[in-house]
Amino acid sequence: MRESVAPFMSFFNGPFDELNRQPDVANFAVGNPQEMPLPAYVAALRDATEAKDKDWFAYKLSEASSQRTVAATLTARTGMEWDPDDVAMTNGGFAATAVTLRTLVEPGDEVIFLSPPWFFYEMLILAAGGEPVRVRLEPPAFDLQLERIADAIGPRTRAVMLNSPHNPSGRVYPGADLRALADALTDASARIGHPIWIISDEPYSRILFDGRRFDSPSQVYPHTVITYSYGKTLLAPGQRIGYLTVPPTLPERGQIRDEIVMQQFATGYAFPNAFLQHALADLERLSIDVSVLERRRDRLVPALRELGYEASMPEGTFYTMARSPIADDVAFTDLLARHRVLVLPGSIVEVPGWFRISLTASDEMVEDGIPRFAAALSEARR
Ligand X SMILES: Cc1ncc(COP(=O)(O)O)c(C=O)c1O
User: Exposed, middle or buried, 372 (CB in 10 Å: 0-12/13-18/19+)?
Assistant: middle
Is the CB of 166 or the CB of 323 nearer to ligand X?
166
Query: What part of residues 137-176 is at the interface with ligand X (CB under 6 A)?
Result: 163, 167
Instruction: Decide if residue 345 touches ligand X (CB under 6 A).
Output: no
Contact 235, 67 (CB under 8 A): no
Other beta carbons within 10 angstroms of residue 289's beta carbon come to: 10
Is the CB of 83 or the CB of 167 nearer to ligand X?
167
Site for ligand X (CB under 6 A): how many residues?
A: 13
Instruction: Decide if residue 122 touches ligand X (CB under 6 A).
Output: no
Instruction: Decide if residue 314 touches ligand X (CB under 6 A).
Output: no
Is the CB of 123 or the CB of 380 nearer to ligand X?
123
Please select the residue that binds ligand X; options are 31, 132, 170, 314, rule is CB under 6 A.
31
Is the CB of 103 or the CB of 163 nearer to ligand X?
163
Applying CB under 6 A, which part among 86-94, 179-187, 291-299, 353-361 lies near ligand X? 86-94
Question: If you count them, how many residues does the chain have?
Answer: 382
Instruction: Decide if residue 316 touches ligand X (CB under 6 A).
Output: no
Applying CB under 6 A, which part among 91-99, 218-226, 282-290, 302-310 lies near ligand X? 91-99
Query: What part of residues 186-205 is at the interface with ligand X (CB under 6 A)?
Result: 201, 203
Please select the residue that binds ligand X; options are 16, 34, 74, 92, rule is CB under 6 A.
92
Supply the angle between the helices 39-48 and 274-283 in degrees, to the nearest 10. Answer: 140
Contact 335, 380 (CB under 8 A): yes
Cα–Cα distances (Å) from 299 to 159, 208, 373, in that order, read 39, 17, 14
Residues 215-244, one symbol each (x = binds ligand X by CB under 6 A, - = not), give --------------x-x-----x----x--
CB of 163 to ligand X, least distance (A): 5
Integer Cα distance of 134 and 115 in angstroms: 6
Give the residue among 202, 128, 213 at the shortest CA–CA distance from 167.
202
Applying CB under 6 A, which part among 79-87, 92-100, 145-153, 269-277 lies near ligand X? 92-100
Please select the residue that binds ligand X; options are 41, 94, 173, 355, rule is CB under 6 A.
94
Applying CB under 6 A, which part among 15-23, 63-71, 87-95, 368-376 lies near ligand X? 87-95
Integer Cα distance of 317 and 320 in angstroms: 9
Integer Cα distance of 301 and 282 in angstroms: 34
Integer Cα distance of 27 and 34 in angstroms: 8
Integer Cα distance of 324 and 331 in angstroms: 9
Integer Cα distance of 227 and 161 in angstroms: 10
Is the CB of 69 or the CB of 167 nearer to ligand X?
167
Q: Which residues bind ligand X (CB under 6 A)?
A: 31, 92-94, 118, 163, 167, 201, 203, 229, 231, 237, 242
